Amino acid sequence: MKKKYLILLSIFFYFSLVSAFDFTVNVDSTPTPTPYEGETVSLGASVIPSVEYGCKLICKWATADFGENLINGGQSIPNGSRKDFGYKVIASGFSGIKQFNLEVSCKRSSEGFNCFESPWTTKTFPQGGGSYQFEFDYLGDNQCQVNKAEDCTKSLSDCPCTSSGTACINSIGSGQWSGRIPDNKKCVTYCGNGIKESSYESCSNCPIDFGQCNLYVGCVSGNECEGGFCIHEVCWDKPWRAGDGFCDINKEESCKNSDDCACKNNELCSNTGICEKPETSKKEVTEAIKTGVEENLITTKNRQKTISMTSIGLILLVVAGYLFYKMKNEKKNSSSKKVVKENNKKARVSELKKKIKERKKHLKKLEKEHKKYTKKEK
């Protein structure tokens, strides 16, 4: 009889040694709320042991980010009961996606009748390959996570200063933005302080400080315009404006850069932008004088010749007229008028002599003028 009990006990002991154990794990891999890069993410799972002959299991978990951690504080888990546990990973990866695996290891506890401790059995989840994954927010994802300490100073692409007339305090000197109140993205209002801050102000987003940027806009003073110039009551980008009909030569407008300052027909635009009459060389002046003198001498000679010929012609004409008149009167008048004719003859001759004398005097004057021009020519 004792032999029989020993055989049964041996069989029971044998089966208790070789009896297999198993476990299953359910995994929750979705964090709530969405984490931010670098944060430690706590996730949940549950382990359900399945042990023959009522032996209990001791289990633990591990991820690539965290080492081994006992489930249930190291206390044994009864056969078929579910035990929830938490595991952790760190939000890191490429483009805001975290990929990870969960390892669960279990071994049989020595608790209970005929239970003997076994080596650890490790399973990787998800089983069959692959990995769990979830999305997380990160610097550079074009989402401004002000609750995660993101602002324009850390990532201007995630947290741009979109409100009109605002800029990030990082781009403004501390002396310029001090006293202005930043918003939750560390953007401050800069427009309206009366200072032209060209690094972030422009005529389009802050005309009250920078000035109107539309050319041809009416103005009264230069501080109303982007370029600072009010040219004849019109905003412009420089001290003068071509085509406005005004030659502002005192403001660098000249015949070189504007048709408003075009030179007259007898003037040329100099290298300095001033209209000047063209200079003539000494040689050209000498040649011109010489040519003029020669032309004057020729003209004078021709004039003297013409006067001489005209004078002689007049004298001959007078003489011929006189002779004709004399012959005509001699035929008509009687001898009684001879005395009168003689007197008339004397008077005519005297008159002719007087005219000849005057002509000679005039000829002498012409000869003197001719000699004068001849001396100048020499």
* Domain range summary for the chain, segments of one domain joined by +: 2-135, 142-210, 224-282
Residue 154: CA atoms inside 13 Å, Cβ hemisphere, count?
16
Q: What is the pLDDT along the chain (378 residues), one digit of tens a residue?
A: 444 444 444 444 444 444 568 899 999 999 999 999 999 999 999 999 986 557 889 999 999 999 999 999 999 998 888 999 999 999 999 999 999 999 999 999 888 777 889 999 999 999 998 999 999 999 999 999 998 889 998 888 999 988 877 888 887 776 666 667 788 999 888 777 777 777 667 777 677 777 777 666 778 777 777 777 888 888 887 888 888 888 888 878 888 888 888 888 888 888 877 888 876 544 554 665 566 556 656 765 666 676 667 778 778 887 787 777 777 776 666 555 565 566 677 777 777 778 788 877 877 777 777 777 676 665
| pLDDT score for 52 | 59
b/e sequence 74-85, b meaning 16+ C-beta within 10 Å = eebbebeeebeb
| pLDDT at residue 6, as a whole number | 42
CATH 2.60.40.10 fits 2-135, yes or no: yes
- For residue 183, what are the CA distances in angstroms to 78, 153, 163, 170? 56, 12, 11, 13
101 within 8 A of 125, measured Cβ to Cβ: yes
Q: Looking at residue 286, what is its pLDDT?
A: 61
Taking the whole predicted model, whether its pTM rises above 0.85 is answered as no
Rounded alpha-carbon distances, angstroms, from residue 42 to 38, 95, 145: 13, 21, 20
Length of the chain: 378
pLDDT of residue 16: 46
Give the separation between CA 81 and CA 48, rounded to whole angstroms.
6
How far is residue 165's CA from residue 15's CA, in Å, rounded to a whole number?
82
Per-residue model confidence (pLDDT) at position 232: 85
Task: State residue 7's pLDDT score.
Answer: 42
Tell me, what's the pLDDT at 222?
75
Per-residue model confidence (pLDDT) at position 40: 97
pLDDT the model gives residue 64: 96
Report the alpha-carbon distance of residue 21 to residue 108 in Å, rounded: 7
What integer pLDDT is reported at residue 335 of this predicted model? 54
